[in-house]
Amino acid sequence: MKLLGVEPDWVRGTNGELVDAIKGGRAIGFIKSAVYRSNSAAAC
């Protein structure tokens, strides 16, 4: 992206805010992320 001279404008928000931004033309894409708890003791 640096070669093209563009940088993303990362914004955190809720799913509802994302829907509103897409419908309103303020967002052109998104990345879904999740938080999870690892139980490493169970993996042993």
CA dihedral 26, 17, 9, 22 (to 10 degrees): -30
Tens of pLDDT along 1-44? 789 898 888 888 888 888 898 899 988 878 877 666 656 555 54
Domain ranges of the chain: 1-44
Report the distance separating Cα 7 and Cα 9, nearest Å: 7
pLDDT of res. 7 = 86
Looking at residue 42, its pLDDT comes to 52
For 17, the token pair is 């805010």
Q: Which tokens hold the place of 15?
A: 């799913």
